Amino acid sequence: MLPKTKPWIGLLLFGFLAGCSESVPKTVEQKYDLAIEYMDKAQYAQATPILLEVIDENPGTRFATFSHLKLGDAWMSSGDTEDNFNSAEIQYRIFLKDSPSSHLVPYVLNRLIELNYRRNISLFFNETYAFSRDPGHFRKIIKEYQRFFLLYPGSLYRQDSVEYLAKAERALAKHEFLIGRWYLDHQLYPSAIARFQNTLQVYPNFEDRQEVLAQLIEAYSFNQQPERAKEMQRIYDQHFK
């Protein structure tokens, strides 16, 4: 025979269970709000499965649309890994497709510009620089910015995008310069000259322009082109002496 439970203990137990059942989100609104609470606390691992659940259970709704956006933000904030960046980009582009007239489109385009910068910069200039690395993500930033500026020239996010554009252009210039240096070190002088010339012509505001010009002078000298070397030396002296 089971022991009898005192009435007040039963009431406490009932209240505890009722409170627990109410804390579990049931409606789409409750689930979305809970995910946003996790996002606000930077608890992205907890927010992500809830947002995915909202999308799976409510396709085509505004909750699903904004869950794609929030998933992009969650993965962007979870760490600079290729998987995170790829997942974030997919979610952002789904949002743009599903909600092309949203007031948040400028924000998402700006996030894509930032994403493509961060995706490549973490490994681009480390000690094991890969000369075959395709700097396509930096070029993608320029295309994304052109789209952004064309559609939203007065956006509040424009300044952030301009800064990432400038960073991308510096990265591309650095890429050209480093490859030119590699060619020069390996006595591939015509290839080095071509890279240095391209760096100077395409990126006239490159911060290491003085060093590029100095390397170009050296490349012309080793390539038995003394007149071109003297011409570059005159330009060097005019601008940097």
Give the domains, in start order, of the chain with CATH numbers. 26-99 (1.25.40.10)
User: Tokens 């939203």 appear where?
Assistant: 152
Cα dist from 7 to 2, 12, 14, 17, 19, whole Å = 15, 9, 11, 16, 18
Tokens read off for 59: 């396709």
Query: Crossing angle for the helix pair 226-240 and 209-222, nearest 10 degrees?
Result: 160
Q: How far apart are CA 235 and CA 230, in angstroms?
A: 9
Question: What pLDDT score was predicted for residue 78?
Answer: 92
SS3 108: helix
Measured CA angle at 76 (ends 108, 143), to 5 deg: 45
Single-letter amino acid code for the residue at 87: S
Question: What pLDDT score was predicted for residue 133?
Answer: 57
Which residues of the chain fall short of a pLDDT of 50?
A: 1-22, 125-132
Q: Does the pTM of the predicted model rise above 0.85? A: no
The 10 Å Cβ neighbour count of residue 8 is 8
Question: What pLDDT score was predicted for residue 82?
Answer: 85
Please report the beta strands in 92-196, taking only residues with DSSP state E, as ranges in sequence order.
none
